[in-house]
Amino acid sequence: MSVATVMVYVDPAQQAEEQVRVARSVAAKFEASVIGVSASAIEPDFVAEGVIIQETTTEDIKRMKTELAEKERWFRDVVGLPAGRVAWRWNLEYPLDYLANEARAADLVVLKSSYRKVDPYRLIDPAEAVLRMGRPTVLVPEHVHELQADRIVIGWKDTREARLAVHDALPFLKRASRVSIVEICTSNEQDAARRRVRDVAAHLGRHRVKAETDVRVHMAESDAHQLVRVAKDQGADLIVTGAYGHSRLGEWVFGGMTRGLLDEAPFCLMMSH
Question: pTM value?
Answer: 0.91
Bridge partners of residue 184, in order along the sequence = 216
Rounded average pLDDT over 223-242? 96
Quickly name the fold that domain 151-272 has: Rossmann fold (3.40.50)
Nearest alpha-carbon partner for 152 in 184, 126, 174, 127: 174
Helix (H) or strand (E) holding 160: helix 160-168
Whether 189 contacts 268, CB under 8 Å: no
Distance (Å, whole) CA 192 – CA 96: 40
Distance (Å, whole) CA 153 – CA 232: 10
Residue 110 pLDDT: 98
The pLDDT-based confidence of 131 (bands split at 50, 70, 90) is confident
Supply the DSSP symbol for 55: -
Quickly name the fold that domain 5-140 has: Rossmann fold (3.40.50)
Same fold, 5-140 and 151-272: yes
Residue 134 pLDDT: 94
Whether 90 contacts 69, CB under 8 Å: yes
Helix (H) or strand (E) holding 213: strand 211-217
Residue 49 pLDDT: 55
Residue 258 pLDDT: 82
User: Which residues lie closer than 8 Å to 136 by C-beta, 6 or more apart?
Assistant: 107, 108, 109, 165, 168, 169, 270, 271, 272
- Sorted by where each begins, the domain ranges of the chain are 5-140, 151-272
Lowest model confidence (mean pLDDT) among 48-57, 113-122, 157-166, 167-176:
48-57
